[in-house]
Amino acid sequence: MKALIEIENVTFSYTREPVLRNVSLSVSAEEFLGIVGPNAGGKSTLIKLILGLLEPDTGTIRVLGKSPAGARSRIGYVPQYPTFSRRDFPINVLDTVLMGRLGLTSPIGGYSKNDRNIATGAMQAVEILDIAGRPIGSLSGGQLQRVLIARALACKPEILILDEPTANIDMRVEEDIFGLLEQYNDHMTIIVVSHDIGFISGYVDRVACLNQMLVCHKTDEISGKTIEELYGAPVRMIHHAH
């Protein structure tokens, strides 16, 4: 399969100590990739490099044949669970989803009818059309995550990247969200960052284990020893039945 993301020998540091060391990764079209690792292991940093929000100290990154910044409009991004005070944020679900069209529509005159049709389709796909007029401050954690996924889908992305999309929500909602992602994976490359290697292994094609350095495994190659080496401590694997 054609590689949509190519990362070669990337090193990055915020200070003198590298966060990422000689990371290389190739992500194919319509692949479902999971990225796992301990806190401060570099997962969110790697995502920001792919999005072009950061630049590597050494090495190269190509996304859809371009620089990350040049390909950003073709990537949908769902950030980590928002920590801002939503109750004080005066915006409803539809307006939040429409933000996914920013930079893709006319800069004059607001959103077009086509933008609104695309946003409506994204909300329908993630089953939140019935709450389109509700303020986001009134939503549950699961509903808010669906809104953020719809916002990412509204830009009609070729690549969808989600950073801990199911943090702070219950298992039932987590299964619903990953079931939805599995459907989109039929025509979209998906990268998801997660701490729950046992859960995501039921959905993803490969697992990228990242703790400053990166090693990729097929899901059936993941073992308790692999996880202990990644996290540097004994870890229990818990089987999640679907």
Asked whether residue 142 is assigned to any structural domain, the reply reads no
Mean pLDDT for the chain overall: 85
Q: Give 42 or 106, the one with higher predicted confidence.
A: 42
205-209 contacts, C-beta under 8 A, 24 or more apart: 205/31, 205/32, 205/33, 206/31, 206/33, 206/34, 207/33, 207/34, 207/35, 207/36, 208/25, 208/33, 208/34, 208/35, 208/36, 209/36, 209/37
Candidate from 47-51, 94-98, 211-215 with smallest mean pLDDT: 211-215
On whether residue 219 sits in a domain, the answer given is yes
Strands 189-193 and 32-36: parallel
Q: Is the pLDDT of residue 136 over 70?
A: yes
- Is the pLDDT score of 238 beyond 50? no
pLDDT tens per residue across span 150-179 = 999 999 999 999 998 877 677 777 888 888
* 22 — pLDDT class (breaks 50, 70, 90): very high
Domains of the chain: total: 1
> Is residue 90 situated within a structural domain?
no
- Residue 54 within any structural domain of the chain: yes
- Kindly state whether residue 240 falls inside one of the protein's structural domains: no
- Residue 109 inside a domain? The answer is no
**CATH number of the domain within which 10 lies:** 3.40.50.300
Residue 242 lies in a domain: no
Residue 137 has a pLDDT of 87
Averaged over 178-200, what is the pLDDT? 86
pLDDT of 68 strictly over 90: yes
What is the distance between the alpha carbons of residues 39 and 30, in angstroms, rounded to a whole number?
A: 28
How many C-beta neighbours within 10 Å does residue 92 have? 18
Are 9 and 172 a contacting pair, CB within 8 Å? no
Q: Of 30-39, 123-132, 216-225, where does mean pLDDT reach its minimum?
A: 216-225
144 part of a folded domain:
no
Given pLDDT bands bounded at 50, 70 and 90, which one contains residue 109? Answer: low
Kindly tell me if the per-residue pLDDT of 222 is higher than 70: no
How much of the chain exceeds pLDDT 90, in percent?
Answer: 49
HSE of 154 in the Cβ direction (CA atoms, 13 Å)? 30
What is the domain range of residue 36?
Answer: 3-84+157-231
Average pLDDT over residues 75-102: 83
Whether residue 230 has pLDDT greater than 80:
no
Least confident of 21-25, 47-51, 71-75, 107-111: 107-111
